[in-house]
Every structure is written in structure tokens, then in C-alpha cells.
Structure 1
């Protein structure tokens, strides 16, 4: 089977390390498959069939996923960092350290909360009503397409019950 032959080229330590590295670097499954020289369908087949292959992809992705989660959380909470500037004054080098503050990012906060606590923070809220409610339906009519008589009839019908 040709697929098994090609797979064996990647199951060794060097091949698995490359695959894990590509996943860690953020390459998509399609891009990793291209680098290996297989189709995306074959890539998914290998994930199901070969544990070492699956583990290499999974381990690489876990690292970058964790780094991304940490970066998102850092942006959501805000952070401080030190900025070092070097200037020269009267022939002397002056090194100045300034602490910079990055405030919390509202977009990152919203994204974090919607994904971590969807029941409390999703955009859609459910309203449960335990007794019957009468709902009035309004209809908009384009009066420009109606005759004068049709408009009068609609008006009469609308105010007939008042």
C-alpha cells in the first residue's frame, strides 16, 4: 500500500518532530498535509489510523493553543511591562526604565467570557413566560401601490372595532 510507505517516511523521530513543530507554528491541517506531500483527506485518515502521528499533531497544537489562551487572558486583564530606552547626553549613555501599563481590552474580555461562560454571557437571552400572552401583529402596507378606495377600506377596517 503506497500510503503506508509514505507514512513510514514520517513516523520516525525526525519526521514526527517536524510535524509537531508545524502544528506548534500554527500551520493548518491542510498546510501540514501539503508539507508532507499528502492530501487533506489522507491527513485525516492518518490521524485516525496512526497514534504516533495523531499525538505529534495534537502535542504541537496544544502548545500554541495554550500560548494563545494565555495571550488572550493577558489582554483581557491588562498588564504592565518595562520599557528600556537608551539616550546619550554629554557623551554619556543614559539608560531609562519606564513601567508601561496596558489597560484591559474590552473585546478580549467579551470574547473570553462568551466562550468560558456562555450561559451567563451569550448574546441570546431566553425569556420564559408561564401565562398566556396576547400578541398583536402589525402589518406594514406600501400605500403607494394602493388605490384611494383600497386605502379607505383598510382605514375603515382598522378603526371598525374602536
Structure 2
């Protein structure tokens, strides 16, 4: 006969061992730089999204790597949108064939401001000033009359109105 607690494993862990590996820290940051969502990350590591959430709690370096990657990706997109809204210049190369020779000429290409990008930026940065619909406050009172008509009275009024039309 065994006593309570004998013959049982003394390990406190339950369930399957974790699939987490330390190299996931650098991998997850790169995934986030590419715009990966938590669902995409879970698919990549072949785990459930809830496992990714658990890893964020159990491995602080994993969470920091996700935050860093997403923040950098968002900053890059915001910077590109900002440049596009204001217009920008970028280096380019003009390639032509002159007298059967390929001639490459470096140049600076100008991209004009994009109104759609500017509108998008303003609506998201200052929604109270730039939203499409402005909220108007209306004050005052509205009164309503309840008219109690019998069916016969209602039919008589309806008949009168139809005769006028």
C-alpha cells in the first residue's frame, strides 16, 4: 500500500514541454519588421496564438522583441507616409542608349506631395479637426402631440386626403 504522495512524480510541470527556443527572440523581431501579426507569428512557429501570448508572459525578452519589431515597422510606415504626404526627392538613374552605348546618368527624382496621404495623415493624427463628419450640438425642445383617432375617424381623414390628390 502506498502512502499519499508516494509513487507520483515530484515535478510540478503539467502538459507538454514548451516549444520555445531562445533563437525565437531574433526571429520574432524580424517577422514583426515584416508586418507579422500575432496570428502570423503563431503560424510561423506552428503553435496556437494562445501559446504566443503565454510566451510573452513567460519570456520577457520575447515580448520585448515583438514590441521592438512592431514599433520599428510602424515607424517606417509612418515615415514613408509622412514623406509621401509632403513630397520628397530620391536618387535615381536615367539609362539611355546613345550612339549604341549605354549611358547611365545619376539624377534626383522629385515626387510631388500626395493629397490622399496628407488627408490620411491628418485624419489619423488630428481626428477632431479633420474628420469627414463634424459633430454638431443641437439644443432645444421638441414637443409631440398624441392624437387618438378611432379607426372610422382615421379612414374618413384618409379618404378626404385621397380625394384631394
TM-score (norm 1): 0.71
Cross-structure match for 1:109? 118
- Quote how far apart the aligned CAs of 1:18 are: 0.9
Matches within 5 A, 1:47-86: 47-86=56-95
Gaps of 5+ in 1: 136-148, 157-162
Q: 32-41 or 43-52: which moved more?
A: 43-52
Match of 2:130 among 121, 124, 127: 121
What is the CA–CA distance in structure 1 between the aligned matches of 2:130 and 2:65, rounded to whole Å?
Answer: 35
The reply to whether residue 153 of structure 1 matches residue 161 of structure 2 is: yes
Tell me by how many angstroms 1:118 deviates: 1.0
- In structure 2, what is the Cα distance between the partners aligned to 1:155 and 1:4? 85
Change (3 A) 1:34 1:93: closer
Q: Select 2:27's aligned residue among 14, 18, 26.
A: 18
CA distance in 1, matches of 2:109, 2:71: 31
1:27 to 17, 36, 47: 36
Of 36, 41, 45, the residue aligned with 2:54 is: 45
| Higher alpha-carbon Rg | 2
- Structure having the higher helix fraction is 1
**What is the RMSD of the two structures over their aligned residues, measured on CA atoms?**
2.9
1:94–1:35 CA distance, 2 compared to 1 (3 A): closer
Secondary structure at 1:5 match in 2? coil
